[in-house]
Amino acid sequence: AVNHALGKNLIGAFYQPKGVFMDLSMMESLPKREIATGLGEIIKYGIIYDADFFAYLEQHADAVLALEREAAVHMIARSCEIKAAVVSEDEKESGLRRILNFGHTMAHAIEKETGYIRYNHGEAVAIGMIGAADISARLGMIQEADVARVEALVARMQLPTKAEGCTVDAMYRDIFHDKKTINGKVNWVLMQGIGKVTCRNDVPEDIVREAMAARIGK
């Protein structure tokens, strides 16, 4: 995917990999911030597809952060399995594959408003996931306890929970340039529970703005 002045990943093509290879010793050479950045996307897989995997991350947070071998192998393999399962069912992102974008609508707005400098992608996604969970709760789709679990795990994995340098008005404008926005309607990936999400394009503006305001740090 190629970024465009109007937003991230707006131009691209689809090519599926023959395999995925991860060198754990190379991963161990990464700065801690980069490890946390990757964990933002890994948390996402638990939320969108596998409640047991989300619980595993909660219960083994120390081992995950330390990249202990058993934890590292499990979280990487499971993440690859989930993505492969989703992509194989929906190669061109016409339906199911959209769930991989959980947290990304707000994340892309955060990245744009901070010049793609202040936050790494996984950090912005982490904030965006809490925002999407918040929207889900405001719509009555999940309980506040689910939002609390998402925010607690994000924080435990040493990721930010709020974005600095953003305004609600600017972020709200930005979401209409997201690739998931079709005919002026934003397709939000929202939670039905830990491990299950759905897409909705009928989220009222006031709810989006309230959730965005709650994610802006001071």
Asked, for residue 42, whether it belongs to a domain, the answer is yes
Q: Is residue 14 one of the residues assigned to a domain?
A: no
Which whole number is the average pLDDT over 102-119? 93
Give residue 9's pLDDT: 76
Pairing verdict, β 185-186 and 196-200: unpaired
Backbone angles phi and psi of 52, in degrees to 5: -65, -40
Residue 212, helix vs strand vs coil: helix
Section 14-29 average pLDDT: 83
- Of 15-29, 100-114, 151-165, the range with the lowest mean pLDDT is 15-29
What is the arithmetic mean of pLDDT over 197-206? 94
Whether 9 is covered by a domain: the verdict is no
Residue 11 belongs to some domain of the structure = no
Q: State residue 164's pLDDT score.
A: 95
Of all residues in the chain, the percent with pLDDT exceeding 90 is 71
Structure tokens at 133: 């969970």
- In the chain, what percentage of residues exceed pLDDT 70? 94
For 47, the domain range is 20-214
How high is the pLDDT of residue 84? 87
Cβ–Cβ < 8 Å for 46, 194: yes
Total structural domains in the chain? 1
- The pLDDT value recorded for residue 217 is 85
More confident residue, 64 or 4: 64
Q: What is the pLDDT of residues 36-90, one digit of tens each?
A: 999 999 999 999 999 999 999 999 999 999 999 999 999 999 999 998 888 877 5
Question: Which residue do the tokens 């830990």 mark?
Answer: 194
Going by C-beta distance under 8 Å and a sequence separation of 6 or more, which residues neighbour residue 96? 86, 89, 90
Nearest to 179 by CA among 55, 88, 93: 93
Specify if 122 maps to a domain. yes
Two tokens, residue 190: 């929202």
**CATH number for the domain harbouring residue 94:** 1.20.1090.10
pTM of the full structure: 0.89
Q: What 3-state class would DSSP assign to 125? A: helix
> Which one-letter DSSP state was computed for residue 118?
S
- Asked whether residue 3 is domain-assigned, the answer is no
* pLDDT for the residue 139: 97
Rg (CA), the chain: 16
Residue 126 vs residue 16, higher pLDDT:
126
Does 166 map to a domain? yes
Report the C-alpha gap between 133 and 121 in whole angstroms.
18
Question: Residue 111: in which H helix or E strand, if any?
Answer: helix 104-113
What would the mean pLDDT of 164-188 be, rounded to a whole number?
Answer: 85
17 pLDDT above the threshold of 90: no
Does some domain include residue 153?
Answer: yes
Q: Which two tokens stand for residue 7?
A: 């937003």
Which candidate, 87, 133, 82, places its Cα nearest to that of 106?
A: 133
Residue 108, C-beta contacts closer than 8 angstroms, at least 6 positions apart: 7, 8, 124, 128, 174, 175, 178
